[in-house]
Amino acid sequence: MKSIEWVVNTMPKTEDKNLPVMAMDEIRKVKTFHESFPQYSQTPLVKLDHMAEFLGLGQVFVKDESYRFGLNAFKVLGGSFAMAKYIAQQTGKDVSELPYSVLTSDKLREEFGQATFFTATDGNHGRGVAWAANKLGQKSVVFMPKGSTETRLNNIAAEGATVTIEECNYDECVRMAADAAAKTKNGVVVQDTAWDGYEEIPAWIMQGYGTMALEANEQLEEYGCDRPTHVFIQAGVGSLAGAVQGYFANRYPDNPPKVVVVEADIAACLYKGAKVGDGSIQFVGGDLITIMAGLACGEPNTISWDILKNHVDTFVAAPDWAAAQGMRMLAAPVKGDAPICSGESGAAPFGVLAAIMMMDEYKELRDHLGLDKDSKVLLFSTEGDTDPDRYKAIVWEGKES
């Protein structure tokens, strides 16, 4: 069995110029925007008291994003906000002037016209972009990497998008989307990975994810938890991880929680960068085949990378078995705790946390992080069973690949 690999962050700090992207005032505006959607409701923060006791922890909280906008994943938060910010920019408005009722109005459509939003995805981000485009009367084109499932393709097509599965990996699909957008009148790339020259829209997407972090923070306080001591967060290109890390660094500047970033080991570009240790961006190529399809990205978001290397405590590269274990443990937790339907990418951080607490070979990491009976750990289950057949194969039948 492949081991979980980890490295403590010792990278040199930068001037932290990207941390203000996730400033508290900005994220409150984002949440107000999402609250204007008729589909909006706060997703649950599940408190796993019995699991926490079993693992030797004080408290364990899991934010369950399978309830987000009826789309079974959190990604729509980023795509919808970025599209609204783009439309606001093009029409000379502030996004606060464009709640859902205005965005979907005939008047705004006449003023803005119609754009085609291009993106690459393993499923969740593309579905969110397609859904938002559909609701706003816009067009969308989605490229999916080799190994994507027909179920996830069909979910995107059902939202009116033009969608294809390509014979290449995710990062190459991103380049295809950017190239196609450049050749299309009113074509716009809505991608959650940033590169030099393409950073504005990814920053907006990261801000969109802030709604989830702000909700979770408010829910923790309702539970009587003043702040988490640890946050475990998954990463593909790192946009979500950078958003969550950025939010908590801004929220608790004097006493931030320890953040642990969890990647699929086959695509662990952030872990690889932390291991090199000089702050440089590292890439991972190849087909990147893993059950954690949402994390199968080998080229980091430049904005997020800057936030992560300044603030993250530890980077972890997780094998597929850790994600599968997390899925099963959340689906059938300790008696008395509510079960959580968590997909492959959603459950990876919990699987890593459980392994750290249950397996002696990770005692050094457990001790480094100071995980014990006083720890209050926050995790984000970013997706439900977005591919129900694959979910059942892993959870019911014990398959891991």
Contact 370, 87 (CB under 8 A): no
Percentages of the chain per state (helix, strand, coil), in multiples of 5: 50, 15, 35
DSSP 242-301: HHHHHHHHHHSTTSPPEEEEEEEGGG-HHHHHHHH-SS------S----S-GGG---S--
Return the structure tokens found at 314.
């530890």
Catalytic, out of 63, 75, 139, 258: 75
Torsion from C-alpha of 137, 138, 143, 147, nearest 10 degrees: -20
Q: How far apart are CA 320 and CA 313, in angstroms?
A: 23
DSSP class of residue 73? B
Buried b or exposed e, range 91-128, using 16+ CB within 10 angstroms: eebebeebbbeebeeeebeeebeebbbbbbbbbbbbbb
Contact 310, 15 (CB under 8 A): no
Closest CA to 382 of 351, 340, 347, 337: 347
3-state secondary structure of 164: strand
Q: How far apart are CA 62 and CA 332, in angstroms?
A: 14
Catalytic, out of 31, 47, 63, 122: 122
Long-range contact pairs involving 107-111 (C-beta distance under 8 Å, separation at least 24): 109/137
Q: How far apart are CA 130 and CA 151, in angstroms?
A: 15
Q: Is 122 assigned a catalytic role? A: yes
Q: Is 372 assigned a catalytic role? A: no
Contact 264, 292 (CB under 8 A): yes
Buried b or exposed e, range 355-393, using 16+ CB within 10 angstroms: bbbeeeebeebbeebebeeebbbbbbbbbbbbbeebbeb
Active site residues: 75, 122
